[in-house]
Amino acid sequence: MKTIIVTGSNTGIGKEAARILAADGHRVLMLSRDSDKSRRAADEIRAATGNDEVRLFPVDLAEKSSIRAVVDRLRAEFSAIDVLVNNAGVYRTKRGVSGDGIELTFAVNYLATFMLSELLLDRLRAARAGRIVNVISALYTDGVIDFDNLMLEQGYKAGRAYANAKLATALYTVELAQRVEQDGVTVNALHPGVLATDVFREYPDALMWAAKLFLEKPAAGGERIARLAVADDVAGVTGAYVYKEEVREFEIPAATRQKTEQLLQVSRALTGL
């Protein structure tokens, strides 16, 4: 039994991944909003798998204080964590900010990944073969890191915010993989496919209905997350971009890679780490 955290696991591919991992007998810690939807999801997974080691840890991943609080709970209870799946994501048609004043797409899709990974690194090291799986998107190649407009106060567009946050996560994945390689922790980014999930729930119902007809089902993405989280054949893979199940190199221009250290400095400042 491995102890596995899955963020954004009350719906979509996160829920499917949690269900698959629970069915395989792992302890699954669901990090999702404090809501009836999250509680129902946890109950459904326990009932479907017969696994009582499925537990909900409520958290608002847009808020630094909430992330710190859930990390404190996790650290108090678990001396080792085998896998951290940073899956939670949002796609907002209109710009919004968190209670900390951070643009919401950047906060949830990147900074939450950064905070959870950094704050739980010692627990992943303690597992001796810890894994971090960062769910991104092929759209990371469209992203830019502009430190003069990181919060997109000028020219906000949903697609731009989404791609920028995914690029930031890609850069962080490469850096963290190098930093923890000697500790036995692997760090990879996964594009799970173009899937019919509710990450785009702010779009009109008709568009969502059409998407569900033509896109892959969430179960396919859940299977890909679960594989990268626990499968033996990818145990030694790190610092990689996994496109569905194919291990690829990141397509990041050298000039963008050179922004990694400044991105880390900004991330530490924004999160207080």
Among 40, 39, 238, 270, CA closest to 150? 270
Among 4, 7, 36, 188, CA closest to 108? 7
Q: Which of 91, 162, 172, 241 is catalytic?
A: 162
Distance CA 105, CA 151 (A): 9
The single residue listed with the structure tokens 């990371």 is 140
Determine whether 243 is an active site residue.
no
Among 26, 18, 23, CA closest to 1? 26
For strands 3-7 and 83-86, give the pairing. parallel
Among 91, 80, 153, CA closest to 122? 80
φ, ψ of residue 29 in degrees (nearest 5): -105, 110
Are 41 and 30 spatial neighbours (Cβ–Cβ below 8 Å)? Answer: yes
Q: Which distant-in-sequence residues (6+ apart) come within 8 Å of 214 by Cβ?
A: 196
List the catalytic residues. 162
